[in-house]
Structure formats: structure tokens, C-alpha cells
Homo-oligomer: A and B are copies of this chain.
Amino acid sequence: MILRFVLGVKGGGFVLKTCIRPRVSETDAVGHINNTTLPVWFEAGREEIFHRFTPDDNFNNWKCVIINSNIEFISQIYYGKDVEIKTWVKRIGNTSFTLYEELYQENTLCAKSTAVYVNYNLDKQATEPIPEEIREWMSGHLV
């Protein structure tokens, strides 16, 4: 079995860690993991955050809508070795928040991601303030 989430400590805050095994289908013909795979992996690293906003994992109640994604590609990523995604909260706004993530393979920092999300009510098509209990939980994962 996979450990769902291991909590670590960095600068006082807790980090979410996600272990990912690269797949053959995630490589490209240049020989490494294709750059379009990274948004998929970084999104996988945010699962626990999505789950806080939508505890029943029901997509009819989905809240987290991405509005900006920035990825810095630092080093090639290879098939055959596990990858670790570390996820922190960088900023907690009124209706939006920013996540900061790092991707490691064999202790090499291979990529960094910054993603901005809004807490969005898809039925009402409107943003909503981040609930207090999520805000508090997020405060414990600040970078």
C-alpha cells in the first residue's frame, strides 16, 4: 500500500509529500519525462488540499479552480526512479490561495511549481471566501 500523506517539517510548517512512480507513457521520444506530465504530477500533489475543500470527493461539489500555473523546469526527469512532490501553501487570500511545490528525483530538485487557485462555487458561478477551518489547516502548511 501507498502511504497517503507523510507530513514533514520545513521552517516550522508542514509539507505534504506525494511519491510518484514515472510511467513509460509519461516519457517522450527525446528520452525523458515529457514536460506536459509535470502539471499532472503537481496536481496529484494537491490531492489533500482538494479533499479539504470537497471532503466527499464529489465533483458536483468541487471547489478548487486553477487560475494560474507556473512551472520552472530545472533538470531532466528520468523513467525508472521514483519522484517526490513536496507541496506547501504560499499565500492564503480571501477567496484565493497560492501553492508552491518542488519535485525531487534522487535528491535533485528537478522542477518548481507555483499554482493559484480560487475557491469557486460552480453552481453559483462565483468565488467564495475560504472557510475558516481550511484557512487554519492551511496555515500549518505555509512555506
Contact = CB atoms under 8 A, between A and B. Distances in A.
A53 interface: no
Contact size class for A?
A: 35 or more
Contact of A40 (B21, B25, B71): B25
Interface string A64-79: 0111111111000011
Interface in A69-102: 69-73, 78-80, 82
B68 A73 contact: yes
Contact of A72 (B35, B65, B67): B67
Contacts of A107: none
Contact of A57 (B32, B43, B79): B79
Given A36-B43, A70-B68, A73-B67, A27 B29 contact: yes
A93 to B, nearest CB: 17
Given A67-B73, A71-B69, A82-B2, A40 B29 contact: no
A11 interface: no
Interface string A18-46: 01010111011111101111011001100
Nearest to A82: B2
Nearest to A27: B29
B43 A23 contact: yes
